[in-house]
Structure 1
Amino acid sequence: MISVVCNNVSPRNTFVAKETDVGIVDTEDIKALKSDWLTDSAIAFWEEYAHTPLPSSSNVTNPTRWLEREVLPKYPQARIVLLRPVISHLLMQTTDLKADASALPDFSKVTHVFLPISDSRDRWNADSGSHWSLLLVSVIDRVAFHYDSLGGSNFSAAKRGVDRLSFVLGVPLRFHQLEDTPQQENSKDCGVFVCILMRHLLIKRLLNANSTEKVSMSMAGKMIDSRGGRKEMLRIVESLRKEGERRRSASPFAGSPNDPPRID
């Protein structure tokens, strides 16, 4: 069990989530979730913990699951990767792609890859950009779809990401800019759009289709509630914080409020 922590070590700012290899949300991430440009950590958190209704065909008694931790394992045949923003950034910025390929997931049996794309040009800082967009790559169809909520602002960055992933995969990839992508109304909601579009495309399109069905990747007519998305993200963080407090209070190792947080 790994702690999900805020910047200072006070137990009031620390919560314990389920087993996770991401799980770091600090005070800057929380501030960003409320009204600002989403950090890479906030998007990574969503990839793992977004509350997700399973497709109606799943026949599961409790249909709400966490996106990556509980939804994807129920569809092993899908073999879908939700690439973390920091790994997407590595793919985009490394000066030696061949040498750094070992840091990337094993794509040999992957069918689809979701990549959050940033316009950052700082090799060492994924949060240094000003715009997020989303790439959905169908490896089996050798095609990449780009969803940009700010027109074609991230076209060059997305094309670079596709070219680099093509190199790693060892196959050519066709690039499609989805002109009908829902558009944001301000300069700060791009990350929220990426998160909501990712979940919709994964659950409603990829996991809801049978293997012989051709699925449209168009998002024409899809309405994005960015304010509602932010509220949902904050609710998830708060629910995990409360769960962490509950676990700590029940722990036989619980000490004084000033003790550092414990790892179960």
Structure 2
Amino acid sequence: MLLGHEAFIGYSIDILNMSRATADEKILSYNDVVLRRSDLDILSGPYFLNDRIIEFYFSYLTSCYSSEDILLVPPSIAFWIKECPDVASLKDFVEPLHLSQKKLIIFPINDNADVSMAEGGSHWSLLAFERNANVFVHHDSSGGINGAHAKRVYRTVVSYIASSDAKYVECSSTPKQVNGYDCGLYVTAIARAICDWYQSDGLKNLEDLWFSTIKEQITPSFVSKMRNDMLELVRSLMAKQ
């Protein structure tokens, strides 16, 4: 029997609501991060990584590199540091992070400038602070287009982290993405490489820092494989819970 117009609309809405409910289904709770079915879909295809996936992987790296010296800042906190409209309240927000006690701090930088828009923005980059070298380094896989956003974070946190003479460096040798959607994967890959460098060679090589490590390791094929590795990581953790 053919559906009437109103019945068809109602049926279509039911299907749409079911699809949304499925996408919103919780699939994994890891530390303080909850991933949903839609996040798995993002990892399964060539799509732009959202805040939750980056927060999940930063939390995973924190478990892998469990040093009190290292802080991987969640995207939501990095965004609020960048866009907080009330400088006075920012101090109370930042102090619990104990930034002055960390030796290595990594911020994911998003180009969203609208605090009313959740999951906004269209590009990710990474800002890393290394205390022994007293330097902030910005890594942008699209040639520094997030530079203004990274500098806002730098200017906001430098007084909480280090002396005011801490330098800001735009790393021109950051590996470049070859498409319009892998920027978040470059952020996660570079974050992992920096953490690995810090634990293995950090105090031995302060002049070049992690630059040569990233240049050698972070290639388009490596990044493509990392998407699959992250997908398998999520699935393996799902199987264990």
TM-score by length of 1: 0.73
Partner-residue secondary structure (3-state), 1:182? coil
Quick check: which has more Rg, 1 or 2?
A: 2
Check 1:168–1:125 CA distance in 2 against 1; reply closer, same or farther (3 A cut): farther
Q: Determine whether 1:30 maps to 2:23.
A: no
Equivalent residue number for residue 178 of structure 1: 171
Check 1:123–1:9 CA distance in 2 against 1; reply closer, same or farther (3 A cut): same
Q: Determine whether 1:14 maps to 2:32.
A: no
Q: Within 5 A, what are the aligned runs for 1:76-115?
A: 76=68, 79-104=69-94, 105-115=97-107
Would you say the 8 A contact 1:182–1:221 is kept in 2? no
Equivalent residue number for residue 201 of structure 2: 209
1:179 Cα deviation from its structure 2 partner: 0.6
Equivalent residue number for residue 184 of structure 2: 191
Partner-residue secondary structure (3-state), 1:25? strand
Q: In 2, Cα distance between the equivalents of 1:9 and 1:28?
A: 8
Q: In 2, Cα distance between the equivalents of 1:148 and 1:212?
A: 25
What amino acid is aligned across from residue 58 of structure 2 in structure 1? E
Partner-residue secondary structure (3-state), 1:186? coil
Root mean square deviation of aligned Cα: 2.3
Would you say the 8 A contact 1:118–1:126 is kept in 2? no
Q: In 2, Cα distance between the equivalents of 1:211 and 1:221?
A: 20
For structure 2, the 5+ residue unaligned runs are 1-19
Equivalent residue number for residue 47 of structure 1: 58
Q: Within 5 A, what are the aligned runs for 1:132-143?
A: 132-143=124-135
The alignment covers a number of residue pairs equal to 212
What amino acid is aligned across from residue 34 of structure 2 in structure 1? I
Q: Determine whether 1:240 maps to 2:234.
A: no
Would you say the 8 A contact 2:26–2:34 is kept in 1? no
1:143 Cα deviation from its structure 2 partner: 0.8
Q: In 1, Cα distance between the equivalents of 2:216 and 2:237?
A: 33
Would you say the 8 A contact 1:40–1:127 is kept in 2? yes
Check 1:13–1:91 CA distance in 2 against 1; reply closer, same or farther (3 A cut): closer
Partner-residue secondary structure (3-state), 2:71? strand
What amino acid is aligned across from residue 101 of structure 1 in structure 2? K
Compare the two structures and name the one with the higher helix fraction.
Answer: 2
1:32 Cα deviation from its structure 2 partner: 2.1
1:112 Cα deviation from its structure 2 partner: 1.4
Q: In 2, Cα distance between the equivalents of 1:200 and 1:126?
A: 29
Equivalent residue number for residue 68 of structure 1: 62
Partner-residue secondary structure (3-state), 1:220? helix
What amino acid is aligned across from residue 93 of structure 2 in structure 1? A
Query: Which runs of at least 4 in structure 1 moved beyond 4 Å after TM superposition?
Result: 7-10
Q: In 1, Cα distance between the equivalents of 2:230 and 2:70?
A: 22
Q: In 1, Cα distance between the equivalents of 2:204 and 2:224?
A: 36
Q: Within 5 A, what are the aligned runs for 1:253-264?
A: none
Deviations 1:195-239 (A, max 9, x none): 011001111x11102645425231334333222111111111111
